């Protein structure tokens, strides 16, 4: 399951549990509204934190992929240069043998 789905499910579960707990708890209307407001703030903060963590995870993964790509490109360049050197050596050997 993806991180985003887990995070969304977790936040939804927390929000639903908080709202149901407050609505079914015997308390004055003003206290209930205050608690709902606080829980709304808590859920908003949890969502912000979750997206921040998700953004950091994506950024980290991007950096890793970028580093791997640069390394792969460098290896490819080395291989191309090696093949070029081999081709040049074969050409020189062929010329030397042809001239002799």
pLDDT beyond 80 at 88: yes
C-alpha 31: how far from its chain's center? 41
Tell me the pLDDT band of 60, cut-offs 50, 70 and 90. Answer: very high
- pLDDT at position 73 is 97
- pLDDT at position 9 is 82
* 9-52 per-position pLDDT tens digit: 887 888 788 777 777 777 777 887 787 788 888 888 988 888 89
Percent pLDDT > 70 in the chain is 97
Positive or negative: CA dihedral 2, 53, 34, 14: positive
Contact call for residues 30 and 20 (beta carbons, < 8 A):
no
Q: What is the pTM of this model?
A: 0.52
Q: To which residue do tokens 């050197």 refer?
A: 85
pLDDT beyond 70 at 1: no
Q: Which residues neighbour 39 within 8 Å (Cβ) at sequence distance 6 or greater?
A: 15, 18, 19, 22
- pLDDT at position 100 is 63
Contact call for residues 46 and 11 (beta carbons, < 8 A):
yes
Q: Which residues neighbour 47 within 8 Å (Cβ) at sequence distance 6 or greater?
A: 11
Positive or negative: CA dihedral 35, 41, 45, 50: positive
């Amino acid at each position: 399951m993806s991180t985003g789905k887990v995070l969304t499910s977790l936040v939804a579960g927390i929000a639903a549990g908080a709202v149901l707990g407050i609505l079914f708890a015997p308390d004055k209307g003003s206290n209930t509204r205050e608690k709902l407001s606080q829980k709304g703030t808590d859920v908003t903060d949890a969502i912000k934190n979750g997206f921040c963590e998700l953004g950091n995870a994506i950024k980290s993964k991007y950096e890793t992929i970028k580093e791997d790509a640069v390394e792969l490109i460098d290896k490819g360049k080395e291989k191309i240069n090696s093949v070029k050197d081999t081709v040049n050596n074969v050409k020189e050997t062929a010329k030397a043998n042809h001239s002799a």
